[in-house]
Homo-oligomer: A and B are copies of this chain.
Amino acid sequence: MLNLPKEGVLSHQPIGDFITEAGAVINDATVAFQRWGEFRGDPHGKNNIVLVEHALTGDSDAATWWEGLIGPGLALDTDEWCIICTNVIGGCSGTTGPTSIHPDGTPWGSRFPATSIRDQVRAEQIFLEELGITRFHAVLGGSMGGARALEWTILFPDAMGYACVIAVSARSSAWQIGIQSAQISAIVRDPAWANGDYYSTGASPQNGLAAARRIAHLTYRGEQELDERFGTIPQAGENPLGAYRRDDQRFAVQSYLDYQGDKLVERFDAGSYVALTDALNRHDIGRGRGGLNKALASSIVPTMIVGVDTDILYPYHQQEHLSRNLGNLLAMAKIVSPVGHDAFLVETRQMDRILRNFIALTQQVPSPNELAERNGIYDI
């Protein structure tokens, strides 16, 4: 039987030495994870596991960052489904990343190798195997989590029944690489960065990380929502219209962005931010697979695609591209919101409808494994 940790409790699973797509080794890697809902079924066949993938600075605590969507009676109903969420490799919330301790007893820092979205998925696949799981019902996620869900369907098509890919593209666009590289640049230009080996210096590139987050946040939020909230209002007690420009005399939106930057600095590591942003830059479903649309066409997993109408980071035409080219499109849904990219995290009512529809479809449409079994092509 599966030996899963207590519901909601952060747990850790060693996965051994991990070799990256580009050929480097991460020794004695560990994957942090949480689960909600009881496991039912066959860990090598039909079961009730739904794998949830977090976004760039998310973590395994999916019930918190998707509050209102995971729990008893909610769209991802933990009375029915066993939800598992892992922290991504390269992260800083329990899974091995740049802050983790290298076998030599000091933090990995600059020695932590580059990882790709495929590495994130392969690490997760090994993790599941270590838990004793080779099949699961569905994988879903948004943004970087959506990229992982999509890679799962191409890398391990037999491992899952269904996928839901939210607010992401088939590969990074040049604009995404550009704006993501601007964020990496903000961090590595911080004098405290120390080439990524700042963990023992007593300083940390907090200013660079906060600057990166401020830029990122402007790609996560729609300009209409920001404008409705802040417009050109000065921050209370400050005068951004004074006779001399001063960094401490701000518009309200500057204060809001400063807050977003500071909040991330408190909970996230700059080295992980660089590592995961670089992984996003490398996102390309087509790499080594005969090109983008050939790779998408090869997909056999029924996949639902979700996008946001005002997303400037992953514009909706990128989800339309996925929907046209995926080999097995299950459904398509559009979140309509002034919020932009983050809508998949904050438009809970719409996400509730979308996730309920997705789950319902997975119960109506046969999975490739079910079809194969019915046709007697193979059995497990």
Contacts and interface: CB of A to CB of B under 8 A. Distances in A.
A102 interface: no
A146 to B, nearest CB: 17
Contact of A226 (B178, B223, B282): B178
Contacts of A244: 24, 110, 113-114
Q: How many copies of this chain does the complex contain?
A: 2
Contact of A254 (B178, B217, B224, B229): B178
Contacts of A211: 182, 185-186, 189
A247 interface: yes
Chain A, interface size: which category?
Answer: 35 or more
A250 B247 CA distance: 32
A259 interface: no
A252 B257 CA distance: 30
Given A211-B185, A247-B188, A171 B23 contact: no
A115 to B, nearest CB: 9
A173 interface: yes
A71 to B, nearest CB: 34
Interface in A282-306: 282, 284, 287
Nearest to A221: B175
A234 to B, nearest CB: 11
Nearest to A112: B244
Interface in A150-198: 171-179, 181-182, 184-186, 188-191
Interface string A325-345: 000000000000000000000
B22 A241 contact: yes
B251 A174 contact: yes
A253 B189 contact: no
A5 interface: no
A252 B172 CA distance: 13
Interface of A: 20, 22-24, 110, 113-114, 116, 171-179, 181-182, 184-186, 188-191, 207-208, 211, 214-215, 217-218, 221, 223-224, 226-227, 229-232, 240-245, 247, 250-254, 257, 274-275, 278, 281-282, 284, 287, 312, 315, 317
5 contacts: A22-B241, A178-B214, A178-B253, A189-B207, A251-B281
